[in-house]
Structure 1
Amino acid sequence: MFRLSRPHLLLGVLLFAVIAAWPLAKFLLLFPQDQWQVDVQVYREGGISVLQGRDIYAQMTQPPQLLPFTYPPIAAFLSVPLAFVPFTVAAWAWSITQLLANVAIVWIAWYRVRERVGVWAPVLVGVVAAGFLWTQPVGDGIRFAQVNAFLVLMCLLDLRRPRPAWLLKVPPGMLVGMAMAIKLTPGVFVIHYLLNKRWREAGWAIGTATFVSVAAWLVLPQASFAFWGGALSDPTRLGPNDGSANQAFRATLLRRGLEGTELTLAWAPWLLVVGAIVFWVARRAYRQGDWVAEAAAVGLSGFLLSPVSWVHHLHWIMVIVPAILGWALTRSPVDWRRVGAAAVVVAWFVCTMPFWGVLWKREGRDPRWVGDLLVEGNVIGSVVVLALLAWAVHRTDRERAHETPVAEGDPAPRVSA
């Protein structure tokens, strides 16, 4: 263990500011005002609706966006504090808090390298957290003022092993349940728990989500009925499902013109095959005791299997990259294959392929199939990420099989989290 050094902490903050300067300026200072921090507007309108007794799911944000509230009622209740301050104050506070959450994610998920560099840890974390802002999933979180950073952090903390002292009184599964109550996607962790017969964690997750949802029903009965009785099953409330911003495989099928039964028949095999693969990867990571890779795989499953997956839903890239790296940067010689695989993931999502594809098609360039392929860039990218993560987990098994056994009487190798 090491003490934080003030010079290294200040250097970390400085490097974060320098590296993050352009994406933050682009999204927080130079972005068109009618598109600035639009999701905070959604959350804030939800909070205002609670205070004023309005129908939460009938309200829209101001033109030209006209966005509805799409989260469970408890999310509207938690958004009430945003209603007490002007929108600008709420938006800036949200962005700053989101940046701190990103730093916390890096501090936790990159623990292998962080512990290796010692007092240089703040520098490492500052550089890495700022660097991720250049990727589309994390950058779009800042652009739209999204909630994903907080959900990733909650789920990551819940899977962290060993649990830090301050988290010991929180039963495993509870934070996942709270995240699931706010947004349904973290429910994939419950599937993972059940598949691995982790009944206690599954019970706490389901119980927490149920308790919070029932409490919200008692406080906001009409809103709860509106959400669970209709708004939840209406994917059109999330925006045009066939738009290029939706990078779920189902959206690819919609863009190919499939509808109704044809759409279901084409999407079902994807859910079965990809679901089996990604939960198998998560199971292997769990059995290895690699909770970072476990969290990365389950988090990725939410993006791969959801009917609507906006690019910023892949905020899990901040966990996926260190999961692929494993111990690569802490051993001698460095495992450059892992480093290369992690670099592919970062480079892929620094590129804004769907946006390039839209421009290609809008300008009528030839060949047209290039534009179509680019529009599906992050759908393809999510499959590439799954393949690389599966490879990394398999490689961990091979590495451990070739490790020198610990002699009897020698100290056991240190495992830290």
Structure 2
Amino acid sequence: MRDGRRLTRSQWAVALAITVVGALPLARAYLIAQQPKSWQIDVQVYRDAGVSLLQGRPVYEWLTQAPQYLPFTYPPFAAILAIPLALLPFGVVGWLWSVLQLLADLLIVRYAGRALLARSGRRAGWLLGLLTVAVLYLLPVSDGFRFGQVNAFLVLGCLLDLMRPRLRWLDRVPQGVLVGVATAIKLTPGVFIVHFLVSRQWRAAAVSAGTAAGVTLGSFVLLPQASFAFWGGALQDPTRLGANDGTSNQSIRGILMRLGLDGTPLSAVWLLLAAATAVLGFGLAKRAHDRGNEVAAAALVGMMAVLLSPVSWIHHFHWLVLALFALLGSDPLRHPRRIAAAVGLYVVLLLHLPWWGQWHLVSANEPFPAASSGDPFWTLLNNSYGLAALLSLLVLAWREARRRRGRQRPRPPVRQPESDALSTPRS
């Protein structure tokens, strides 16, 4: 069942129709009714990087127009990929980017939920469409449409690279290439290279690391000045990304900063918690891979991407879409607790809980971002996305522990009926 069943063209058509209809409110809110000054601001950053390359202006010194003034924060290879965006009008780019995100999210649900879809038979198209629409309104996903983010494409690429058996249209692409390209675009997918090493997928690790290194070196040859500017300066300045202690940073480090830690204590506690999280997360991902559950492995490694990074904005938590399906498993109807865990995570990601916490703490005149002196309940909400990722990790660890205990528990010997035991063997 883990391989899933191929969907027919009519099932794909039904799923796509449901997805498009369900996405219309998002299109109206973020493409039609959105104010021009905040319209697709991240796509504007990408496009401006491509324009900078074409016009010869410094990629990492250029800021977008007022009132955002946003810098380009990705490696030079991402700027090269943005050149086609610079050849199109910005309005066309915004709409096209949103359509591609929609298709990426549809494919993420298709392959992350393939075990569920395989059990649904002829209703697979309807289920795929409804699940995709449900995912679109999660805050990390809808923020991707609001800002024009790249996360959906990174999640999809890494998920497809881990899937077994390999999809037909990826047969000629060695495992690790997609992870390597994603890492060259945005550094955080590099956690999947760590996963390949920990799970002893040596060839995939070599291919992904080699792809990332080759693409990066090629970018260095093409763009030496921009490469020096990124690797020698921009990468070492996390403040370029924005206020690290703001509510939107839901990584472990962001949570600790909002709890009032700073300087050496912050670094020490962060490194300790990050190390413990990495040991647990990568260890669980290896066991999931060993069982052939690549969706769970991708979800666990994706959680490492957002928890271990110094800065993980709310829209980066797109990875937790995979965690929803990992929590559900292949047959959730037989395990009500799996449904409860997935529904709990879904509700947290659906609601704007971190912003509720910030609004209350600020309105109560609490010192911010050091909000730990405020009401514990609102402080909990203020950090709820990072804590939800940690809790999901612990739930999957608890499930793995139960599975191992079940395997180790000795089975009682099968007793033969007395009539068989006392019967005389025939000669």
Secondary structure class of the residue paired with 2:178: helix
Counterpart for residue 275 of structure 2: 272
1:363 aligns to 2:363 (yes or no) = yes
* 1:284, distance to aligned residue in structure 2 (A): 1.3
1:22-69 CA-to-partner distances (Å, cap 9, x unmatched) read 334322333332222110010000000110111100000111110000
Structure 1 unmatched runs, 5+: 405-417
Letter aligned with residue 359 of structure 1: W
1:122-146 CA-to-partner distances (Å, cap 9, x unmatched) read 2111111111111111111111111
Secondary structure class of the residue paired with 1:58: coil
1:5-404 to 2 correspondences below 5 Å: 6=10, 8-329=11-332, 334-364=334-364, 368-394=375-401
Which stretch shows the higher mean deviation, 194-203 or 364-373?
Answer: 364-373
Distance (Å, rounded) in 2 between the aligned partners of 1:166 and 1:373: 44
Conserved? CA contact 1:338–1:392, under 8 Å? no
Conserved? CA contact 1:71–1:182, under 8 Å? yes
Distance (Å, rounded) in 2 between the aligned partners of 1:265 and 1:3: 50
Conserved? CA contact 1:115–1:121, under 8 Å? yes
* 1:363, distance to aligned residue in structure 2 (A): 2.3
Conserved? CA contact 1:293–1:393, under 8 Å? no
* 1:398, distance to aligned residue in structure 2 (A): 6.4
Letter aligned with residue 346 of structure 1: Y
Distance (Å, rounded) in 1 between the aligned partners of 2:365 and 2:87: 49
Which stretch shows the higher mean deviation, 113-122 or 289-298?
Answer: 113-122
Secondary structure class of the residue paired with 1:56: coil
Distance (Å, rounded) in 1 between the aligned partners of 2:121 and 2:397: 30
Q: What is the TM-score with the length of structure 2 in the denominator?
A: 0.88
1:49-98 CA-to-partner distances (Å, cap 9, x unmatched) read 11011110000011111000000001000000111111111011001001
Distance (Å, rounded) in 2 between the aligned partners of 1:92 and 1:282: 36
Letter aligned with residue 356 of structure 2: W
Aligned in 2, Cα 1:174/1:134: closer, same or farther, shift over 3 Å?
A: same
Letter aligned with residue 105 of structure 1: I
Letter aligned with residue 245 of structure 2: D
Conserved? CA contact 1:148–1:315, under 8 Å? yes
Aligned in 2, Cα 1:3/1:37: closer, same or farther, shift over 3 Å?
A: closer
1:229-248 CA-to-partner distances (Å, cap 9, x unmatched) read 11111101111101111111
Conserved? CA contact 2:7–2:125, under 8 Å? no
Secondary structure class of the residue paired with 1:114: helix
Letter aligned with residue 35 of structure 1: S
Conserved? CA contact 2:252–2:274, under 8 Å? no
* 1:192, distance to aligned residue in structure 2 (A): 1.3
* 1:209, distance to aligned residue in structure 2 (A): 0.4
Which stretch shows the higher mean deviation, 261-270 or 142-151?
Answer: 261-270
1:260-300 CA-to-partner distances (Å, cap 9, x unmatched) read 21211121111111111111111111111111101110111
Count of residue correspondences: 399
What is the RMSD computed on CA atoms of the aligned residues? 2.1
Which stretch shows the higher mean deviation, 116-125 or 149-158?
Answer: 116-125
Distance (Å, rounded) in 1 between the aligned partners of 2:250 and 2:223: 33
* 1:356, distance to aligned residue in structure 2 (A): 0.4
Conserved? CA contact 2:162–2:298, under 8 Å? yes
* 1:369, distance to aligned residue in structure 2 (A): 3.6
Conserved? CA contact 1:328–1:336, under 8 Å? no
Which stretch shows the higher mean deviation, 349-358 or 380-389?
Answer: 380-389
Distance (Å, rounded) in 2 between the aligned partners of 1:275 and 1:304: 9
Conserved? CA contact 2:193–2:209, under 8 Å? yes
Which stretch shows the higher mean deviation, 15-24 or 118-127?
Answer: 15-24
Structure 2 unmatched runs, 5+: 367-373, 412-427
Percent identity, aligned pairs only, is 44
Distance (Å, rounded) in 1 between the aligned partners of 2:401 and 2:31: 41
Secondary structure class of the residue paired with 1:57: coil
Distance (Å, rounded) in 2 between the aligned partners of 1:201 and 1:2: 26
